[in-house]
C-alpha cells in the first residue's frame, strides 16, 4: 500500500488517468445493465427467434448481407436507419427485434433508434455477425 501511495504522489497525472478509466468502466457497465436494450449471445438470439418469433434485422452493407447473413433476417439499409425509416419493420413492432452488424459496434445506435420509435423488445447481437460465424452457426447466402 505504501508503494501505491508513493507511486500516486510521484505520478499524479497517471494516477488520475487510471482512476478515471476505472470509474468509466464502472459507469459503462452499470449503463449497459440498466439499458432497456440488451446485448444477447448467438444462443439467446436463436431462442428468441424460435420461441418468441423474434426478427433479426441486419444493418450491414447490402454487399456484406448478400455474402452471408442469419437465416430469415431482414436487411435494413443504412440510409433508412439514419432517417429513422422503420416502416418495413412495423408489422414486427411487438415481437423481439435483434439488430445485427458486423462486429456488434454500430448496432447499438440503430437499436436505440428502434427503441425510441416504439419497438419495445429490442436487443443487439453481442459481437455481431463475427460472433455468429465464430459460434459455427448457419449462414444463408443470396
Active site residues: 101
Rounded distance, CA 70 to CA 140, Å? 6
- Stated length of the chain: 142
Rounded distance, CA 59 to CA 76, Å? 5
Q: How far is CA 5 from the centre of its chain?
A: 40
Beta strands in 6-141 (DSSP E): 38-40, 55-58, 74-75, 97-100, 122-125
Amino acid at each position: 500500500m505504501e508503494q501505491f501511495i508513493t507511486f500516486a504522489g510521484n505520478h499524479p497525472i497517471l494516477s488520475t488517468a487510471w482512476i478515471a478509466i476505472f470509474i468509466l468502466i464502472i459507469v459503462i457497465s452499470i449503463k449497459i445493465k440498466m439499458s432497456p436494450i440488451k446485448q444477447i449471445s448467438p444462443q439467446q438470439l436463436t431462442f428468441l427467434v424460435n420461441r418468441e418469433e423474434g426478427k433479426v434485422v441486419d444493418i450491414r452493407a447490402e454487399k456484406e448481407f448478400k455474402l452471408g447473413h442469419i437465416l430469415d433476417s431482414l436487411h435494413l439499409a443504412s440510409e433508412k436507419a439514419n432517417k429513422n425509416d422503420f416502416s418495413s419493420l412495423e408489422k414486427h413492432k411487438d415481437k423481439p427485434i435483434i439488430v445485427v452488424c458486423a462486429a456488434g459496434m454500430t448496432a447499438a445506435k440503430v437499436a436505440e433508434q428502434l427503441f425510441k420509435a416504439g419497438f419495445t423488445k429490442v436487443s443487439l447481437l453481442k459481437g455481431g455477425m463475427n460472433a455468429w460465424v465464430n459460434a459455427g452457426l448457419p449462414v444463408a447466402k443470396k
